[in-house]
Amino acid sequence: MCRLRSFDVNVLCVSEQCGVHIRTGCSHNKTHLIFYLCTNKFAAMKFRTCLLAVTAIMILSVGCESEEACLSNQHAVQAGFFSATSETDKDSTLAEVSLFGLDREDSIYAKESLSELFIPLDFERDTVSFKVVAKTMEDTLNIAYQKELDFISRDCGYIFSFHIDTVWHTNAFIDSVALEYPDIKYGETVENIKLYIY
């Protein structure tokens, strides 16, 4: 015959055999765990093993959900600075770089030393224009693009993907622009354009 050990949860022994049974039931939108535990050593070991297994499954399921977190910052063009005077692509760093949207008052970067820029795209338009300032020189960078809604998952839903059509600019310190990878897709971190500077 099984004897019951008292817990703060409902404890019940439903059979004459000693063993561990865990049952989840829902009542009035609350989840109740009902533990069936007999007090012999075999049952206690079985209970601990089962409890560890349930805990591991819960931790793993939470871990999977956090990896599936929706990345909403995938609407930026990634642009790197390169030397226009070098025969090979050589990364360059600019001092005191600021980046302003032409129709916005706040800056994205303000007097920072940078070797790359993340230029946000607008979901409601097909072109964006930015003023790129390096010390006392200013250039305007314009990007024309197409956008499309892509289904990611049930949790994330739909997210915009972009395709860059054209990039044009003024020539104060930007010599030229190369469109390396025109697609901006969910989860990708690749350099889209190269800005060759004097």
Residue with tokens 């800056």: 107
pLDDT (mean) for 163-183 = 96
Range picked from 8-17, 35-44, 129-138 for highest mean pLDDT: 129-138
Q: How far apart are CA 125 and CA 136, in angstroms?
A: 30
Residue with tokens 């338009």: 125
Of residues 93 and 75, which shows the higher confidence score? 93
Torsion region of 157: left, alpha or beta (phi above 0 gives left; psi -120 to 50 gives alpha): left
pLDDT band for position 71 (cuts 50, 70, 90):
low
Calculate the alpha carbon distances from 157 to 52, 57, 124, 142 in Å.
34, 26, 19, 30
Residue with tokens 């622009």: 177
- The ranges assigned to domains in the chain are 21-67, 76-197
Read off the pTM: 0.63
pLDDT of 43 above 70? no
Q: Percent of the chain beyond pLDDT 90?
A: 44
